[in-house]
């Protein structure tokens, strides 16, 4: 009944996207100070458990079952995987089981809120983060996943997002900015990354997993799958080198962390466009990602926003930039299921992309800020000064990443 090749590929892609969450934990864990390594890593890993439970209970259904509230959210017809059995085909591609599609999309739901955590490292209590994780998914991620990928309002309007420029990166990035503004600055902003090699390992896992993130979003094995794969690698490479060159010229030294950050910026930026644009367009998107995200990080510093691990500048701005550039470079010659962008005469499509991503950013920012204020009435969001000075690994979790004899 099912195509074994397509099913096998989607299971592999699902595994790759799952690997990105531990990769993100390593990336953030390396960037954090040595007293806050476990705290930031645990915030990624705990999402794997809680989000999986939520996805089974209602998340998958709210994203990919029916329509409610005018196409803003799904319904509960498939809650607890009701009606999804071994023989249920995925409606979008009958070659693969719906179980496999459900698992693939679950990995996206897991990593999206985890992206936000890099912004407020060592400033947020674990209890408030758990509440935040649950509410943010239900009221931000689920609606946008449904509206864009579940046949909801934005999909019906003609908005495209191949693998998560709007749904994942723009919403998470602007939620991160709202979080930073709400919780305020760190008491010690000068703490250097505790392990650059750990950052490199995390980047490698993210880059590797991103092939499943983008190529897997074709939801089949065909030429578009290959296009998304190659575009992903090319954009990341051009962005990494662009960032390296800019920082080298400014700081007079080639920075390894800069190279790695540039690669992640390129990966985030190509995500919405990977399966809809040509290879030369991916090159331009990668170069733009390296330049614009680098400038965004410097703007953040100038504005005094203490986004510790540059979630807004890399993911938020990268997701927005990629979504807008999709509106410029999209081509039906590359993917007949897509659209023609601005350079192909698609002025209306370009406008829809801009409106959709701006709306998503505004909603994610405002809702996140208000939600944190509400959570703070239930339990303190920000840690005490003494806990922050001591480090969250010890003060909240009672553990240490390294033996004191090592560091």
* Residue 406, domain member (yes or no): no
Distance CA 240, CA 254 (A): 12
Based on the structure, what is the number of domains in the chain?
1
* Residue 103, domain member (yes or no): yes
pTM over 0.85: yes
Q: pLDDT per position in the chain (407 positions), as tens?
A: 899 999 999 999 999 999 999 999 999 999 999 999 999 999 999 999 999 999 999 999 999 999 999 999 999 999 999 999 999 999 999 999 999 999 999 999 999 999 999 999 999 999 999 999 999 999 999 999 999 999 999 999 999 999 999 999 999 999 999 999 999 999 888 788 999 999 999 999 999 999 999 999 999 999 999 999 999 999 999 999 999 999 999 999 999 999 999 999 999 999 999 999 999 999 999 999 999 999 999 999 999 999 999 999 999 999 999 999 999 999 999 999 999 999 999 999 999 999 999 999 999 999 999 999 999 999 999 999 999 999 999 999 999 998 765 55
Distance CA 251, CA 245 (A): 10
Q: Which residues span the domain enclosing 141?
A: 4-380
* Residue 132, domain member (yes or no): yes
User: Tell me: the pLDDT tens digits for 86-104?
Assistant: 999 999 999 999 999 999 9
For residue 184, is it left (φ>0), alpha (ψ between -120 and 50) or beta? left
User: Tell me: the pLDDT tens digits for 387-399?
Assistant: 999 999 999 999 9
Q: What is the dihedral of CA 340, 316, 288, 189, to 10 degrees?
A: 180
Residue bearing tokens 């410029």 = 328
Q: How many helices (H) and strands (E) does the chain have?
A: 17, 2
* Residue 398, domain member (yes or no): no
What contacts 120, CB < 8 A, 6 or more positions away? 176, 179, 180, 183, 308
What CATH number does residue 300 fall under? 1.10.3430.10
Distance CA 40, CA 50 (A): 16
Rounded to 10°, the helix 98-116/4-31 angle is 10
* Residue 47, domain member (yes or no): yes
- Rg over alpha carbons for the chain, rounded to the nearest Å, is 20
3-state secondary structure of 203: helix
Distance CA 23, CA 19 (A): 6
* Residue 395, domain member (yes or no): no
């Amino acid at each position: 009944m099912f195509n074994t090749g397509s099913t096998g590929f989607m299971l592999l892609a699902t595994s790759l996207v799952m690997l990105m969450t531990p990769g993100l934990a390593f990336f953030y864990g390396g960037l954090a100070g040595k007293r806050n390594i476990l705290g930031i890593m645990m915030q990624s890993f705990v999402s794997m458990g809680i989000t999986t439970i939520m996805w089974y209970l209602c998340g998958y259904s709210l994203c990919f079952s029916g329509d409610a509230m005018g196409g803003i959210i799904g319904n509960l017809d498939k809650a607890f995987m009701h009606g999804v059995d071994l023989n249920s085909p995925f409606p979008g591609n009958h070659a693969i089981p719906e179980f496999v599609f459900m698992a693939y999309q679950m990995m996206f739901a897991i990593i999206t809120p985890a992206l936000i955590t890099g912004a407020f490292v060592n400033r947020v209590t674990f209890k408030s983060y758990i509440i935040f994780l649950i509410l943010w998914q239900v009221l931000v991620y689920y609606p946008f996943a449904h509206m864009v990928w579940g046949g909801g309002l934005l999909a019906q309007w003609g908005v495209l997002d191949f693998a998560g420029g709007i749904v994942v990166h723009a919403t998470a990035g602007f939620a991160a900015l709202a979080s930073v503004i709400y919780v305020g600055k760190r008491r010690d902003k000068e703490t250097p990354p505790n392990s650059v090699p750990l950052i490199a390992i995390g980047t490698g896992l993210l880059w590797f997993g991103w092939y499943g993130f983008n190529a897997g979003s074709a939801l089949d094995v065909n030429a578009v799958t290959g296009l998304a794969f190659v575009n992903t690698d090319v954009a990341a490479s051009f962005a990494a080198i662009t960032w390296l060159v800019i920082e080298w010229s400014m700081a007079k030294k080639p920075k390894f962390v800069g190279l790695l950050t540039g690669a992640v910026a390129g990966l985030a930026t190509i995500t919405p466009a990977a399966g809809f644009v040509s290879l030369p367009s991916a090159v331009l998107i990668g170069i733009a990602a390296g330049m614009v995200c680098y400038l965004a990080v410097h703007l953040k510093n100038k504005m005094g926003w203490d986004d510790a691990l540059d979630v807004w500048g890399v993911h938020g701005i990268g997701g927005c930039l990629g979504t807008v550039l999709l509106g410029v470079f999209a081509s039906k010659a590359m993917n007949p299921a897509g659209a023609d962008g601005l350079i192909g005469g698609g002025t209306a499509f370009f406008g829809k992309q801009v409106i959709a991503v701006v709306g998503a950013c505004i909603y994610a920012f405002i809702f996140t800020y208000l939600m944190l204020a509400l959570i703070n009435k239930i339990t303190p969001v920000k840690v005490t000064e003494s806990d922050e000075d001591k480090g969250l690994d010890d003060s909240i979790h009672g553990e240490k990443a390294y033996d004191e004899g090592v560091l």
